[in-house]
Amino acid sequence: MLASLAKWKNPVEPRTPYLNVLGIAEFAAGNDKGAIEFFDLNTQSWGPGGPHMIIFQAAALANLGKNGEAQDLISELNRSHPSFPYEQWLGNWLKNGPRLDQTIDLLSSLGLDMTSVTSQPR
């Protein structure tokens, strides 16, 4: 429901990261289902994508037990963006703490390759 309200209230055109940022906010707050709703709405609205958003989508899917879908996204990220600083990007949004540590551990266990990038100490 929040996602449909956000679409109606969207103050900007769909090619901005508005819906993705709302998805990240929902993810950071622990609402993985709400995060997926925003990411899906962004895709349906032809909004922007990229590794910086897909990583949160993969994490939210994994937290919901949709490991196959999450692993598909992770495999694509490993192939198409092997040098993206995932740990740093996640840390920018989640800051240091249990949610960040849990997310990095989960994504790593599902196959996300973070070894090609020098990561910041947590």
Transcribe 104-120 into DSSP letters: HHHHHHTT---TTSPPP
pLDDT tier at 109, thresholds 50, 70, 90? very high
Dihedral sign, Cα of residue 84, residue 26, residue 58, residue 49: negative
pLDDT 10s digits, 52-71:
999 999 999 999 999 999 99
* Mean pLDDT of all residues belonging to the chain: 85
CA distances from 94 to 30, 42, 106, 121 (A): 11, 21, 14, 14
Q: Is the pLDDT of residue 42 over 60?
A: yes
Q: Is the pLDDT of residue 122 over 50?
A: no
pLDDT 10s digits, 7-22:
555 556 667 788 888 9
